[in-house]
Structure formats: C-alpha cells, structure tokens
Amino acid sequence: MDERMRQVQQAVEREMVCSAHSMAHVWRVYRLCLQLAAEETKVDVEVLELASLLHDIARVREDTDDTGMTDHAVLGAAMAEPILRDAGYPEATIHHVCSCITTHRLRGDAIPATIEAKLLFDADKVDSLGAVGIARAYMLAAGYGEEMYSDENVADYVARNHVGGTATGRIRVLGEHTPNLEFEIAFKSIPDRLFTRQARAIAIDRLAVMQAYFDRLRAELDGRA
C-alpha cells in the first residue's frame, strides 16, 4: 500500500466506528474484491482497492440519522471525492471510485456499470452472508434494539414496515426488524443480484449456513431441539 492509499485508509478509519460496519468489514470486503478480481480481466485494481476502502465511509452517518433521509452510498461518494483529491489521485480515478461507491447498495436504484463497481457490489453482499453474516446481523440487531426472531408473515411485515411496501424499500422502524426477517427479505435474493460467477457460488454456500442456523434457532425457540 502506497502513501496515497494509506492516507485514504486513515480518513476511513476516522469515520468507521460501527461494530457491523467497522474496519474489519472494510478489510474483508477489500480482500473479497481482490479474490473475485483474480478471475476477471481488465480490472483497474487501484480503483477497486480505493472503492472497497471507502465504500462505507458514510455508513455511521446514515445509521445515526433519525430522519432516515441519508443514503450512505450517495453521501459516501461525496465524502470520498475530497479525500481522494487531497491524496493526489487523478480526476478520472476519483470519478470512477465515486461511481463504484454510489452503486454498491443492495437497497438502492443505482446499478453498477463497470467491472470494478460490480466486484465491489458482489464482495460487499457476500460479506453479509454466512457465519460472518449472522454475526453482523446480530450486531446490528443489538444496536437497533431488535428482537432475536420474528414469526410475523414476511409479506405482511414488508407491507407494514418498508417504504413503498416493497422489499427494496427502506425499513421504517429498525427496532421492529429482526435478523431472520432480513434473511428472508434481503439475503435470500442476493445470489440473483450478483454479477460474477464466483460471488454467486460463495453466496449460495453461505446462504445454506444461514438457513441451517435460522431453522435450528426456530426449533430451539419452540423447544423442539
């Protein structure tokens, strides 16, 4: 890592204080990006590395905005621009990195257009799945005061607590969400949303881990295991 990228890393570290969206998450996404990129061609690795480092820089600001109006992908791109410029990156690199950040959200309308943006999207989503995904889901649940499990009908819940009554709409009251609802509403759809073959294979494997966990949890909560 050269001095310019180290400067970017330090700027990100000043913002990343959330347990589920910490520097540990950033580095996992960084490594996943490089792993996925190894099977692709004509990847601008510098852009990919910078985008992975910066992708969640505004996440804490979104999570602490009680109005629900902050989109960490959009704000993150805006925050990344001066950081990259101060570090001395060329304008073309800055523009590309910011476009990757803008399009990395699962619950977002912007679609990744470049291979670097697609790799960032895929790596970020893969890190929400599997054993690490379960751990992160409960970190978030604790922060929002969520229950361990909900038996509410998924369709009814989406209609009631998602903006627009759709699965892609933002959650109205985070405290009424639960990890198993997030699994049913968002995580199960991830393989179909991914762009690369390797990411889809990893996601399917990790989803099986999560399905087994939530099945076991439901059984234990019912006293059947």
What is the tens place of the pLDDT at every residue in 189-215? Answer: 999 999 999 999 999 999 999 999 999
> Sorting pLDDT into bands at 50, 70 and 90, what band is 19?
low
3-class DSSP assignment, residue 22: coil
Q: Taking the domains of the chain in order of start, what are their residue ranges?
A: 1-111, 128-225
pTM, rounded to two decimals: 0.92
Mean pLDDT, the chain, rounded, equals 93
User: Dihedral sign, CA of 104, 110, 114, 118?
Assistant: positive
Mean pLDDT value of segment 36-45: 96
Q: Which CATH architecture has domain 1-111?
A: Orthogonal Bundle (1.10)
pLDDT at 65: 76
Q: Which residue has the higher pLDDT, 65 or 50?
A: 50
**Nearest 10 degrees: CA dihedral of 173, 133, 79, 93?**
-140
CA distances from residue 211 to 24, 129, 179, 180, 201 in whole angstroms, order as listed: 24, 10, 12, 9, 16
> At residue 167, does pLDDT exceed 90?
no
Mean pLDDT value of segment 137-150: 92
> At residue 166, does pLDDT exceed 90?
no
pLDDT at 52: 98
